[in-house]
Amino acid sequence: MSLVDDVAAGQDGLSQLRALIASGRKPGILKSLDFDFIEVEPGLAVFAGTPGDHAYNPIGMVHGGYAATLLDSACGCAVHSRLSAQQAYTTLELKIAYHKAITRETGPLRAEGRVMSIGRRAAFAEARLIDGEGRLHASATSTLLVFDRPVA
């Protein structure tokens, strides 16, 4: 059973995600990379985090995977917010563009994901990673597979 199922079994995607945020519980990836799921509306999901030493690579910058994970989470949960209780999703493709380096000095980052379109089997989403001054650090587009949840 997933953390979402644990806090909101049988509810539609938006209700599941709202219940997850309200519970204060964090899936493992949010704990390990130290970021938060802070907002969800139909077709919109927002994550926030401040990169620290845990996110650095050997060349002295925040690893691109940190930005990619925030963006993938925002795209995926934006789609999740539009699903029925009987549906699930998985990322098929994630394309990232890195616009500006991220360091400790960048400060808090906000990943805003939005659904561009959603159908019976595929969804398309985009996300932007911005700092507190509104500067764009990375952006992403994502293709996601929508499928029926396996019956337990």
CATH code, domain carrying 38: 3.10.129.10
| pLDDT one digit per residue (tens) for the chain, 152 residues | 566 655 557 899 999 999 999 999 999 999 999 999 999 999 999 999 999 999 999 999 999 999 999 999 999 999 999 999 999 999 999 999 999 999 989 999 999 999 999 999 999 999 999 999 999 999 999 999 999 998 76
The number of distinct structural domains making up the chain is: 1
For CA atoms 125, 65, 69, 87, the dihedral sign is positive
Give the pLDDT confidence score for residue 92 in this predicted structure: 98
Give the pLDDT confidence score for residue 5 in this predicted structure: 58
Give the pLDDT confidence score for residue 10 in this predicted structure: 84
Give the pLDDT confidence score for residue 79 in this predicted structure: 98
For CA atoms 50, 54, 60, 63, the dihedral sign is negative
Give the pLDDT confidence score for residue 41 in this predicted structure: 98
Could you list the residue range(s) of the whole structural domain that residue 27 is in?
Answer: 3-148
Whether 110 and 127 have beta carbons less than 8 Å apart is answered as no
